[in-house]
Chains A and B, each alone.
Chain A
Amino acid sequence: MRRDLPALVLFGASALAPLTIHDGFLLDSLILILLWGAVSSAWNIAGGYAGQVSLGHSAFFGLGAYSAALLATRWNQSPWLGLLVGAALATVAGLVIGYLANRLKGPYFGLATIAFSQVLLILASRWRAVTSGSEGIPVPFRPGLWTLGFSSKVPWVYLVLTLAVGVYLISRYLETSRPGYQLAGVREDEDAAEALGIPCRRLKVTAIAASAAVTSVCGGLWAQYVGFVDPFYVFSVDLSVRFALNSIIGGIGTAIGPFVGSLLITSLEIYLRATFSDFKAGLVGIYLIIYGCLLIVVVRFVPQGLVGWIGERARAMGRYARA
């Protein structure tokens, strides 16, 4: 229970926020923090808990975004249905890539996932008949719960919060359950795990598929929130990197890590962009330089992530205090 305290604080504060904060910009920031946190947490299922560091998760995000958008525009269905369809498609995609890339380790795995996401990008941007090609899909805004159209930010906060809590609980499940322990074994030492009779391939592929499904749900919600699906963005390598990034900075393989990472990175990004936008246009890129350098520094000196680092500090403090 104590372990979940930070999550309780974070999610609790998020739940209470709309009651006290009415500023649209802050609420929008909160929604983005929670959304990116949720996707990163989904990535973490494969990357952190199963040890499969994927750099192509935007493939699943894009599948979810397109499913929601296409079902809403072409076939006039509710985007909720789109979320389900997207999850189904992404599960299949996850199974495929998980199976194909099963023997690959480290950078090879990462490269395979990148290639996969880029193939989907090309398909989406060329298959005009279905996806409108490079022009992307504007997602219509129809007010109502069934059509996921909310003009106020408040329902979005709670919607994304529910998603975030859901993914968090999945991660916690992986920390305390038998399949989770087996997965940890696969992650730490696959040969030993294999020797112990753990079904490594099945576990890895399942983890990737589950991760894919949740990622795609996030993509579907994103499409409804932002209102435009651009293939070059939703399938981009930049986006894949972002998902992995939040988890790594926050603490890979921990349940709260991705959210902490997202809190830091997303708010920093929003804050810096808001501050620098009014400068002479040429100087605006400075915030991205800061971002890049920060990444290098954090990843080098705090490789276990913020959560891990805080944990160590706290333990050290504890030891000191007791002595």
Chain B
Amino acid sequence: MPPRRGMVIAALSFVALALLSVPLTRSAEGQVLQGEYKIGVLEPLTGPLAFEGKRHLEGYEIMRDMINERGGVMGKKLTFVVGDAVDPTAAASEANRLITREGVKIITGTYSSTLCGAASEAASRQNVIYWESSCVDPRFSRRGLKNVFRTEIDGTGFGWYNVEFIAKHLAPRFNMKPGQIKIAFLSEDSSYGQGVTEAARDRAKKEFGMQEVAMEYYAFASTNDFSPIVAKLKQVNPDVIHHIARGNDAVLFWRQSREQNFMFKALVHAGATGYGSPDFGKALGVEGNGPFVLAEPSAGLRLEAFRPEAQKLEHDFTEAVKKRAGTEPYASHRLAGAGLWLLKLVLDQAKTDELEKFRSAVMSLDMPVGSTLNGWGVKFAESGQNANERVQHYMLQWQNGQMVTVWPEEFSTLRAKWIPLGPWDQRK
């Protein structure tokens, strides 16, 4: 290579590196401007999870404003600096950026199980507190990391609650013992679907001896026709279908089951996607009557069962979401809101973000179910995981185009219908 070209390239590389540092080198700002406390928020704002990440962020922002109306955190105004965690590399990288450039001491987020792993790793290596409010991967809180906390239920909890409902509420009403129930598992195959389904399968078999007659995973993105699956399921004649759906697959499956006159006694799902999305009702209207969804509460919630402060919180939050987003709060709003509120409680108690004191404040929180937003209680284990039993989840059912809260019965004004499901055209 002639010397000139080499020199030019060398020079350009140098210039590039120098230029890189110029815009990126601002003096790392001090953590606190007078009267403000800044935390980092990591969400997938681009890419396939973007719409959920956006809602999660919205929930955070709404709760942040509510918190600032109620004295802020540690007496200071709570502010955010946001990072886009589109994939694991970006999650780690953005976490780094928020810590080193923005100087945050606490990072929260991150919606998805695959992102929270990378983000929390990055945070813990720099001794920054990681406050997760949404991802459900069970292994998240089993890594022995002292600075990692999660307010939301552990993924095994969803499966746990579902099976609880099937065994304790549905089985007696079918006049069957739990061990006699034939259960078919159907699920989309992302980390969420697999996590919930495996936990449910485990409990169904080990604790109740239910008979598993089918187990089908499918790729949500490329499954556009459930008829082969419906045909197969018809042949094994399940009593209950445990279907974890992600989006339109719920509508498709339900519709095609109806088209093929596939009869079963109940269908149970968990989460805010698939059957848990308002879209299911929009798509099917009264034809969508029947499925049970484990989710955050909705219409029919008996607010009186909450403590007074929780009722006010619940009411204000719902109003704020309606005002800003024009809808009832989605689950992602609620998870973010509840998580951030708990963070405020901890910080107000610890009065610092220093790890030891923060941890003691976290461990000292002990509130029963019904104490805070969503009707949650709180009690953290040493692993940093909020106890599954305190993170109250509710079983909703689609009735007349709406998801209504039907279980646990002390928290709901309405009751479950069509147990077992009758002929397709008679569910009114």
Contact = CB atoms under 8 A, between A and B. Distances in A.
A and B touch in the complex (CB under 8 A): yes
Interface of A: 2-6, 8-10, 13, 21, 23-26, 28-29, 32, 122, 125-126, 128, 133-136, 138-141, 151, 222, 225-230, 232-233, 256, 260, 263-264, 267, 270-271, 273-274, 276-278, 281-282, 284-285, 287-288, 307, 310-311, 313-315, 317-318
B194 A135 contact: yes
A281 B96 contact: no
Contact of A317 (B3, B4, B118): B4
Which of B8, B9, B88, B93 lies at the interface centre, i.e. has the most chain A CB atoms within 10 A of its CB? B9
A135 B96 contact: no
B6 A3 contact: yes
Interface in B65-123: 81-84, 87-94, 96-97, 99-101, 113-114, 117-118, 121-122
A216 B99 CA distance: 30
B193 A26 contact: no
A314 B57 contact: no
Contacts of B34: none
Interface class of chain B by DSSP:
helix
Contacts of B6: 2-6
B190 interface: yes
A315 B189 contact: no
Nearest to A311: B5
A141 B125 contact: yes
A263 B13 contact: yes
Contacts of B83: 273, 277
A55 B100 CA distance: 35
A270 B93 CA distance: 8
Contact of B125 (A151, A276, A288): A151
B256 to A, nearest CB: 23
30 contacts: A2-B2, A4-B6, A9-B10, A9-B13, A13-B17, A23-B100, A24-B126, A25-B96, A29-B93, A128-B194, A134-B189, A134-B191, A135-B195, A136-B114, A136-B117, A140-B143, A226-B92, A227-B122, A228-B121, A233-B88, A263-B17, A267-B20, A271-B23, A273-B83, A274-B97, A278-B81, A285-B46, A314-B4, A314-B5, A318-B4
A271 B24 contact: yes
A126 B17 contact: no
Interface string B240-266: 000000000000000000000000000
Nearest to B100: A24
Contacts of A29: 20, 24, 93
B199 to A, nearest CB: 11
Contact of B118 (A4, A228, A288): A228
Given A136-B191, A318-B4, 7 more contacts: A135-B114, A135-B191, A151-B126, A227-B118, A228-B121, A310-B8, A310-B12
B217 interface: yes
Contacts of B139: 135, 138
Given A32-B93, A228-B88, A230-B88, A9 B46 contact: no
A28 B114 contact: no
B13 A13 contact: yes
B92 A126 contact: no
A128 B23 CA distance: 45
Given A227-B92, A273-B84, A284-B46, A10 B121 contact: no
B84 A313 contact: no
A179 to B, nearest CB: 21
A311 B190 CA distance: 47
Contacts of B28: 23
A199 B267 CA distance: 62
Given A25-B100, A273-B94, A10 B13 contact: yes
A94 B14 CA distance: 36
B191 A282 contact: no
Contacts of B140: 138
Given A5-B10, A24-B126, A135 B17 contact: no
Nearest to B96: A28
A214 B87 CA distance: 23
Given A5-B10, A136-B191, A277-B82, A25 B101 contact: yes
Given A5-B7, A227-B117, A310-B8, A126 B217 contact: yes
B177 interface: no
Contacts of B126: 24, 151
Nearest to A269: B90
B50 interface: yes
A151 B125 CA distance: 5
Given A3-B1, A6-B9, A230 B114 contact: yes
A10 B10 CA distance: 8
B45 A28 contact: no
Query: What 4 pairs across the A-B complex have the smallest Cβ distances?
Result: A227-B121, A228-B117, A24-B100, A6-B9
A315 B88 contact: no
Which of A229, A256, A277, A284 lies at the interface centre, i.e. has the most chain B CB atoms within 10 A of its CB? A277
Interface in B14-45: 14, 16-17, 20-21, 23-25, 28, 43, 45
Nearest to B53: A281
A225 B93 CA distance: 10
A151 B9 CA distance: 34
